[in-house]
Structure 1
Amino acid sequence: MNIIAYNENHLPDLKKIFLQERRRTFTWVDQSKFKLIDFERETKGESILTAVENDIIIGFISVWMPNNFIHHLYVAEKHQGNGVGTQLLNAVINKIGFPITLKCLENNTQAVHFYTKKGFKQKERGLSGNGGYILFELTD
């Protein structure tokens, strides 16, 4: 597997992963909110790295660089648990350094566990339109 910079050829596959994984993960959210066109709006102006295996896009991470803020990290379901998310996270750390922050919905227990395991610490909690969230920070 390789982690590479986003290019326009990745767009169709990334849009599908973004839609499928949000629908699968955020079961408590009104599913009609999720559209195929959301990817471009949600990642506009962000730095994106993609995970590619055998010429197939299997995941991505997007970062709002002015704040070192991870906005999205998604891995296609059949590739989860194989270290793809860790490699994407490590690639971002190598690119931008510390500190890094992100928000994670509390109901997304799989992601909360992942980030905690990777050393992210809870900085604060809040409430969003989709439920409670945790603001995580990684400082080294």
Structure 2
Amino acid sequence: MREASELDYPDLRLTYLESRRKSFYWTNIEEMTLEDFDRDTVGEYILLAEDDFHILGFTSLYLPDNFIHNLFVHPDFSGKGVGVQLVNSAVEKMNKPVRLKCVSENRKALSFYENNGWKKVVEEGKPGEKYWVMVYD
């Protein structure tokens, strides 16, 4: 794990785009772009996982609120422990309790977080855009 630099952004943009296009079956993937990464991580601390200088995944954190905003693993490395390493490193970087929001439709991600000690607190949002607020303490 290491902090991302601007030199990593081209690969991070691709990881973000490819992961969302593969996993977010409930959205219009044609509306997703490479530039979404920059917009969705403004002002955040970004940790990345890599192997042989190849980015496997990343997490972006909003440190003032102890909040994990994004956690994405490249589809080629999904299910290989990268997400666990990223979420554990994120928790270590912040003060507990740590929070995140997980889209209610993303059952795979919800299961991942619950299996790693996260608790659902409340479901919020309007129909079609519901998400769970989750906490790790």
TM superposition score normalised by structure 2: 0.95
Which position in structure 1 is the counterpart of 2:19? 21
Match of 2:80 among 79, 82, 90: 82
Aligned to 2:115: 117
Show the counterpart of 1:56: 54
Identity of aligned residues (%): 36
Corresponding letter in the other structure for 1:122 = K
**Alpha-carbon distance, 1:30 to partner:** 1.7
1:2-41 deviation line (CA, Å, top 9, x unaligned): x111111110000001011111111111223311101011
Tell me, which stretches of 5 or more residues in structure 1 are unaligned? none
> 2:81 & 2:128 partners in 1: Cα distance?
28
Check if 1:44 corresponds to 2:42.
yes
Q: TM-score, normalised by structure 1?
A: 0.93
Superposed structure 1 runs of 4+ greater than 6 Å apart: none
Query: How many equivalent pairs are there?
Result: 137
Structure 2 matches for 1:60-139, cutoff 5 A? 60-128=58-126, 130-139=128-137
| 1:120 CA drift (Å) | 0.7
1:64-88, CA deviations, whole angstroms, 9 ceiling, x for partnerless residues?
1111111100001111111111111
Separation (CA, whole Å) in 2 of partners of 1:70 and 1:48? 10
